[in-house]
Homo-oligomer: A and B are copies of this chain.
């Protein structure tokens, strides 16, 4: 037996923090959902709709990313829920260190599910993780059916894809089959939820999937 150890390779701090977040959350039975979307695809609406639906079954909390501290109030601030706003100081994405800080501010013993609202962009660094169990990409009909092929990276790494604003279908030229084919070129397995946060259409399968994912963890 030797007490001497040689360290050959040290992971970047960002990777270590993401792993630590994932381990902490797993140990506490908390599911974090990292929501990525371009501006205006409906992150906030989806969070509102999701929280109101699951409130009786899971105890949700919210982390909202914003580019600067001087952002206008969001409807999410009105919810009676544990909530943390994280200003990235201009960095166009949340990182694992920011999530860690946010988790420190939340009453984790009373939380089952944390919805993390990313800065609105589809161009943040490739393949990164903040330690969330689930990555969900939200697109919407006005972004066009070729949105996945123009911004492939987030779609390729998603655990689920939401296509929002289905209520606008009569008013746009949007081919749902082509959207699904575009997603499948990048991601063979992630479920695709076509829905409208405005009309409520299609929300049920999304809620069901989210509950199943959350209940795979010890509650």
Contact = CB atoms under 8 A, between A and B. Distances in A.
A90 interface: yes
Given A119-B123, A123-B120, A142 B71 contact: no
B120 A150 contact: yes
B147 A39 contact: yes
B40 A147 contact: yes
Interface residues of A, number: 34
Interface in A26-84: 38-40, 66-68, 71-72
B120 A120 contact: no
Contacts of A167: 171
Contact of A142 (B125, B142, B149): B142
A202 interface: no
Contacts of A71: 149-150
Contact of A40 (B38, B72, B90, B171): B38
Contact of A72 (B39, B68, B146): B146
B72 A120 contact: no
A140 interface: yes
Contacts of A153: 67, 90
A140 to B, nearest CB: 7
A122 interface: yes
A215 interface: no
Contact of A151 (B39, B122, B125, B140): B39
A125 B39 CA distance: 16
B143 A40 contact: yes
Nearest to A167: B171
B165 A120 contact: no
Nearest to A72: B149
A124 B152 CA distance: 18
10 contacts: A38-B40, A39-B143, A40-B142, A67-B151, A67-B153, A71-B150, A90-B125, A90-B126, A119-B123, A171-B171
